[in-house]
Structure 1
Amino acid sequence: MSMMSIRMATQRDRAAIRHVEEHAFGQSTEAGLVDALVNSADVVLELVAEEDGAVVGHILFSRLYVEKDGARTPAVALAPLAVEPSFHGTGIGGALVREAHLRLKTAGETLSVVLGDPEYYGRFGYTHARAAGFASDYQCDALQALAWGDAPESGELAYAGPFRTQLAA
């Protein structure tokens, strides 16, 4: 019987992470975003899920700021979350999100923002209602937030530079 494990991503995982991202999304955009975030040192937390020694899942949280009245409050952006398609439906994505949330809360993070399927991310406490007060180029029903403490409820979301350069390309 195989066992899935979750651990911090390392430099040795870069090719495997790219492989999972490209397979999960069917394109290289998200893999390019991951590379750019890692190279720009904007990563707050990056985890991989392994099954039988192979990387089959990946999650990355980058630094995000909420800007309001001249103040910048740090937060995190969940993007991307990817699971190798042959492992969809096995709980790996959920396990990555839950483990990441535990680590982020322990590290003192208070706010996480995601642009994704409301039904999926709603399982982890993300809601559009919590993100509705934020100004963002990504503002829509799929923009959701989750707060673990005293976090801003409004302001402008300032994503790491690679979101502008990689996703605009």
Structure 2
Amino acid sequence: MIVRRERPADSRGVDAVHRAAFPTDVEARLLAELREDTGFLPHLALVAVDGGDVVGSVVATRGWLEPVGAAALGLGPVGVLPTQQGRGVGTVLVHALLAVAEAAGERLVALLGDPAYYRRFGFVVSTELGVDPPDPTWGVHFQARALADPTPRGTFRYAVPFSRL
């Protein structure tokens, strides 16, 4: 398996991954909208490829912190084909994305997800870093990871397509 930047020819495979990995098509539709949004960052759209087939995908898009407008990243969606889950594909994708983000000078990555899973990547409850979730009811499921000091603070806002979920 290799991890690389997503290419235009991968879009059908990436769509298939997200449709297979989740019970609804919400993530697949979100990703299609994110690709058309100004917050899409092509260098932060990665795929895992095995034998020429896309088996996993991760993306981070431009987010920001209000009221100061500091740039941040929103991680997700992350998807892995069900036949490949439990083999470390998602772990490799998230580690690769965080490495690219840090190398690109990003300062903060936030996400909505399972704390038990994302803790291994250094994510903590966002409020521990002074970052409030877009929706206070998300509680411990909204997490963040600082990539640089000082950590920007404020209320996190995702790229616009997330607001249409």
Check whether TM > 0.5: yes
Partners in 2 of 1:135 and 1:56 — Cα distance?
30
Structure 1 runs of 4+ aligned residues shifted over 6 Å read none
How many residue pairs get matched?
160
RMSD between aligned alpha carbons?
Answer: 1.4
Work out which of the residue numbers 111, 114, 121 in structure 1 matches 2:118: 121
Helix, strand or coil at the partner of 2:139: coil
Corresponding position of 1:42: 39
Helix, strand or coil at the partner of 2:156: strand
Partners in 2 of 1:112 and 1:20 — Cα distance?
23
Corresponding position of 1:136: 134
Contact 2:13 2:54 in 1 (8 A): yes
Q: What does 1:58-137 align with in structure 2 at a 5 Å threshold?
A: 58-68=57-67, 71-128=68-125, 129-130=127-128, 133-137=131-135
Which runs of no fewer than 5 residues in structure 1 stay unpaired? none
Contact 1:61 1:77 in 2 (8 A): yes
Q: Percent same amino acid among aligned pairs?
A: 34
Contact 1:56 1:87 in 2 (8 A): yes
AA at the equivalent of 2:18: E
**What per-residue deviation string (whole Å, max 9, x for no partner) do you get for residues 87-108 of structure 1?**
0111110000111111100000
Which runs of no fewer than 5 residues in structure 2 stay unpaired? none
Contact 1:30 1:80 in 2 (8 A): yes
State the shift of 1:135 in Å.
4.4
Contact 1:131 1:143 in 2 (8 A): no
TM-score (norm 1): 0.90
Partners in 1 of 2:123 and 2:104 — Cα distance?
19
* Correspondence 1:152 to 2:147: no
Contact 1:130 1:146 in 2 (8 A): no
State the shift of 1:63 in Å.
0.5
